[in-house]
Structure 1
Amino acid sequence: MGIEDFGGGQTAQADVLVVTTNDVPGYQVTQVIGEVFGLTVRSRHLGSQIGAGLKSLVGGELKGLTKTLVETRNQAMERLVEQARARGANAVLMMRFDVSEAADVGTEVCAYGTAAVISRV
C-alpha cells in the first residue's frame, strides 16, 4: 500500500478550500452561508473482520481497516465539498470529523463545518 492509501485531503486545484481553522490568512470572510456536512456509513466486509480478528491476536496495525477508514473519511469530505459548492461557498471553515458506530452494522463518518465565501484581502 502506498502513501495515498493512508491519507487524504485536497489537491492544490480545489475550488472549495477546506480548513480546520476559523479563518484563512490573507483572506476575509465576506459571507457565512452556514453549516454543511457530508455523511457516509460503511460496513466492514467479512474478510477484513476475519483479518482484524487474527491480527488482534498478535498486535499491530489493522491496515485493511485503516484503508477503509481513510476511504470513508475522504468520501465524507467529498460530500461536504459538494454541499458547500451547491450552496455557493468557496470555503468550508472549522471542518471536523465525527466518527461513531451505526447500529452495530458499520461506522458512520460525518465531515462538517461552516460554509463561507472568502476573498483575498
Structure 2
Amino acid sequence: MADQLLVTTTENIPNQKYEIIGEVFGVTTQSKNAIRNFGTGLKSIVGGEIKAYTSMLTESRDKAINRLRQNAKEMGADAVVMMRFDSGSIAGDMQSVVAYGTAVKFID
C-alpha cells in the first residue's frame, strides 16, 4: 500500500542498503474560496493566524505526500529519501505544493 511506503527527509536509512530508482514527486494546487478570502481580508486588518489558509496548506502538504508515495509505488520503490517540499502562489489566489524526493529499492 502506498501510504505505508517510507518517506524520509534524510539521505540515508539506518542499516538499510538500497539502489536509486529515480526522482519522484507529488503535486497539488488549491484555490481559496470567496468566504476564506473575505475572512482573510478582515484578519489582515487585525492581524493573527489565518486558520483557513493554515488548514488549506496542511491539507495540500498531505495530498502532495500521498501523491509522492503513489508515484514511488508505481515505480516499484520501497522508500523515498531526501523528501522536500516546495510551494508557491499562482495568480494570487491559488497555492501549489510539491513534495519531491528520490525513490529507492531495498537490496539484500
The TM-score normalised by the length of structure 2 is 0.91
Superposition RMSD in Å? 1.4
Residue type matched to 1:43 in 2?
S
Gaps of 5+ in 1: 1-13
- Among 5, 24, 44, the alignment partner of 2:13 is 24
- For residues 34-79 of structure 1, what are the alpha-carbon distances to aligned partners after superposition, in whole Å with 9 as ceiling and x for unaligned? 0000011110011111111111111111111100100011001100
Match of 1:104 in 2: 92
Q: Identify the match of residue 51 of structure 1 among 18, 32, 39.
A: 39
Query: Aligned equivalents of 1:54 and 1:17: distance in 2?
Result: 41
Query: Following superposition of structure 1 onto structure 2, how do residues 82-101 of structure 1 map, counting pairs within 5 Å?
Result: 82-101=70-89
Picking from 53, 60, 68, the partner of 1:80 is 68
Paired residue total: 106
Q: Is the 8 A contact 1:15 1:90 kept in 2?
A: no
- Runs of 4+ in structure 1 deviating by more than 3 angstroms, as ranges, are none
Alpha-carbon deviations, 1:9-39, whole Å to 9, x = none?
Answer: xxxxx5310000101112122x211000001
Q: 1:56 to 1:104 in 2, by over 3 A?
A: closer
TM-score (norm 1): 0.82
State the alpha-carbon separation in 1 of the partners of residues 4 and 78 from structure 2: 6
Please report how far the alpha carbon of residue 119 of structure 1 lies from its aligned counterpart in structure 2 after TM superposition.
5.3
> Structure 2: any 5+ residue segments left out of the alignment?
none
Name the amino acid aligned to 1:23. Answer: N
